[in-house]
Structure 1
């Protein structure tokens, strides 16, 4: 039985202080449509820019994970993303009126409680997992970091930490399925060593720091004068060192709470892969930088496999959805600017088009005539025209509409397109079309090789009455 995607039933909010900025912030979780994924929206900035929870958007991992897109950033996203994954959600829009998520008590539990209060709603679309196909390794020998993802028909985590500290020693934590997250992992708080805390305080790097939102491991001899200084700094009457070797401001919720929190961070950072995973993740001494590098490695493999799946084996005897004459009845383009010869597939969410590249193309006259190569800008134009067919397919009179492209991002040209090549384009919607605006991911292939890819945003506008 296929598992359906899930969102939340209603919008719910949580407020708190950002650990590093010290700013009060309100975060609101909103229901989101199918295939939306997790996105943050900075409602305090002009235009309310959206930041996709995507590993390609990570810009900093020094004191938490920061993502940046459309000129806006959100810091410390890992605890929030871990809560969303732990609640087995797929589609949520998170509004934020500041640059950082609230730290709360240093765990994911306040977010889990808020999400649970909203309730869950099953959606029509199936959840599409990425099943780890074989062992995927990542290591940083200088830091003794080792991570591996192994095939498994579930989502299992095993984590080991070892900080060469007599207080922490070696600790292990694990969950055998994501349904254990709420009980075993969500409440586990972040931790730091006393010398790190003092350095951060000295440099004013944790303006929102409160001694109640982190476990402070005492890794050095500390006298009463220093304890009194810390007590004054955090507005407490008294602070001492507990028998477990931590400041006695809080009690451990689990004997291995630091290892469990590292596992929590891993779950949150790996959510940036962008699709739910099936596999067993094992890690020794992980951190945000390693988690993100590992997530990028997994995402690269997913993109490679999806590109292979998108390969369209062209059968010249197969009747196309649209031939050249039919395409000209839809698109206003004409030779030499008509760059799509056939439409091979067309659904509500994707389109496949074909361009036969011949030596008598007019652009070869002036573009490297001694070594003809199809210009990259015209490859993008051909991809855009293919995507235009997909968008125009949503109106009953496409001949009366124009497709205007608003944005082209992340365009990459991976190989030459030469005379004699058959160029196959595929454009997929990455979000539902709203107000005539479509966001698409496009790739162009020659045989099994991806030669061009880009992200496109287009809008259809009516230019004459039917």
Structure 2
């Protein structure tokens, strides 16, 4: 497994765009507005109907209920049935967007992602000055729900693909499969697949007042039992129809299937939307057998946890015994730092987007005399300084005469220290660009590792300035 910075730019939408409708389960009128968002902000919902306009990030850790859709909750603020909107954004290759709602539930529209996709397309797609991260799957990861027999797994693949296999065990709707081989096919093949239900489920939901915004135009109803006169009358009232009948293919009338396997395609749509909660693009093939929101989101939580752990301990795979790309003399030809403040010894990798360097920490370091007597620990600020010097190599590599420049800190954000660094440790630093270098300004994510573990991390911003 590996988290990598791709050479693809992150994307958002060009302008805000709104659409209105009713919530399927609440029956309330709601307006949804897609808004552009900055790089690395991800996908998030904002409740503009509540005081303070609270934001709920599209994160698997906020999933609380999956009974009738995927519900997110943060600090008591809820978003219901998030999956169709999130599927549309992922399907349209959008990394960062803010979804504003004036109710707890997005409008159901026609029960698919079609109208959300059309809105995103109308708003336009904008490339941002930041590179997209991707999680490359190298081993099979799976989650099984023993109670339902549902299983979802991901295996290595050259791109993000999804196959959904459903078996409802009924005559009217048996075994169906659907596959998305490329995200770019989502609009054409998957986005218009509508939500569906069985008649016995509709009866229960109506009886308990749990489906208030539905009509025969936003939910396919498969008739899996005899339709009594009493049920027929209830459906007429609920759906505000003078008459209701059953089509030869076993669905209630007023709808024509977009695809023979529309149910499986919609299940695939749900999988795509639920897995957006992982929070990073996946390079792998997902196979979902009898998927549902519970198993989808449990798998998303498992993936999210694995990725967070790997992000913490994603030690660069370098051979410290091989000759470096740059030794200390070559580093001094580029950086202005000198002893006792030159804090990196070797550079092993250097590209347009990243750099990897090392420092061998010895007891001879001057700072150990006072930090601390009898218990030597490398000061955290010096770990960050060494990380910044590593980043300095990256930015100074962009100019023809680096010896004529100095590098100055502009900002440090999200600085965290995880492990102590002591004499005898070898520090490995990795810095990757968050945004492309412009006018000598470098914005990067830095990590420091020792003994196979993450020691420190920080977002750094620095600028080079010509002094000669």
Q: Identify whether the pair has TM-score above 0.5, normalized to the shorter chain.
A: yes
Deviations 1:174-221 (A, max 9, x none): 222222211221111111122222222222223333343111122222
Q: 1:279 to 1:200 in 2, by over 3 A?
A: same
Q: Which aligned pairs between 1:48-197 and structure 2 lie closer than 5 A?
A: 48-69=53-74, 72-197=77-202
Q: Is the 8 Å Cα contact of residues 353 and 386 (structure 1) preserved in structure 2?
A: no
After superposition, the CA RMSD in angstroms is: 4.6
Question: Which residue pairs with 1:463 in the alignment?
Answer: none
Please give the secondary structure, in 2, of the residue aligned with 1:30.
strand
Q: Which aligned pairs between 1:2-401 and structure 2 lie closer than 5 A?
A: 2-69=7-74, 72-306=77-311, 307-309=313-315, 318=328
Deviations 1:381-435 (A, max 9, x none): 9999999999xxxxx9989x9x999x99xx997x888897678898989899xxx
For 2:50 and 2:340, locate their aligned partners in 1 and report how far apart those are by CA, in whole Å: 45
Q: Is the 8 Å Cα contact of residues 423 and 444 (structure 1) preserved in structure 2?
A: yes
What runs of 5+ residues in structure 2 fail to find an aligned partner?
A: 1-5, 391-405, 437-442, 461-468
Shift of 1:364: 8.8
Give the paired residue count: 425
Q: 1:261 to 1:312 in 2, by over 3 A?
A: same
Q: 1:404 to 1:412 in 2, by over 3 A?
A: closer
For 1:190 and 1:442, locate their aligned partners in 2 and report how far apart those are by CA, in whole Å: 44
Shift of 1:7: 2.3
Q: 1:419 to 1:116 in 2, by over 3 A?
A: same
Question: Which residue pairs with 1:435 in the alignment?
Answer: none
Please give the secondary structure, in 1, of the residue aligned with 2:147.
helix
Shift of 1:123: 3.4
Deviations 1:132-172 (A, max 9, x none): 22333332233222222222222322211111111111111
Please give the secondary structure, in 2, of the residue aligned with 1:79.
helix
Q: Is the 8 Å Cα contact of residues 344 and 354 (structure 1) preserved in structure 2?
A: yes
Please give the secondary structure, in 2, of the residue aligned with 1:289.
helix
Q: Is the 8 Å Cα contact of residues 315 and 453 (structure 2) preserved in structure 1?
A: no
Shift of 1:357: 11
Please give the secondary structure, in 2, of the residue aligned with 1:6.
strand
For 1:182 and 1:138, locate their aligned partners in 2 and report how far apart those are by CA, in whole Å: 28
Question: Which residue pairs with 1:450 in the alignment?
Answer: 453
Q: 1:442 to 1:76 in 2, by over 3 A?
A: farther
Decide which moves more: 131-140 or 279-288: 131-140
Q: 1:197 to 1:442 in 2, by over 3 A?
A: farther
Q: Is the 8 Å Cα contact of residues 443 and 450 (structure 1) preserved in structure 2?
A: no
What runs of 5+ residues in structure 1 fail to find an aligned partner?
A: 328-340, 391-395, 433-438, 459-466
Question: Which residue pairs with 2:440 in the alignment?
Answer: none
Question: Which residue pairs with 2:463 in the alignment?
Answer: none
Q: 1:91 to 1:239 in 2, by over 3 A?
A: same
Please give the secondary structure, in 1, of the residue aligned with 2:217.
coil
Please give the secondary structure, in 2, of the residue aligned with 1:127.
strand
Please give the secondary structure, in 2, of the residue aligned with 1:251.
coil
Please give the secondary structure, in 2, of the residue aligned with 1:89.
coil
For 2:274 and 2:362, locate their aligned partners in 1 and report how far apart those are by CA, in whole Å: 43
Shift of 1:94: 1.6
For 1:177 and 1:149, locate their aligned partners in 2 and report how far apart those are by CA, in whole Å: 15
Please give the secondary structure, in 2, of the residue aligned with 1:298.
helix
Q: Is the 8 Å Cα contact of residues 383 and 427 (structure 1) preserved in structure 2?
A: no
Please give the secondary structure, in 2, of the residue aligned with 1:143.
coil
For 2:81 and 2:435, locate their aligned partners in 1 and report how far apart those are by CA, in whole Å: 26
Please give the secondary structure, in 2, of the residue aligned with 1:308.
coil
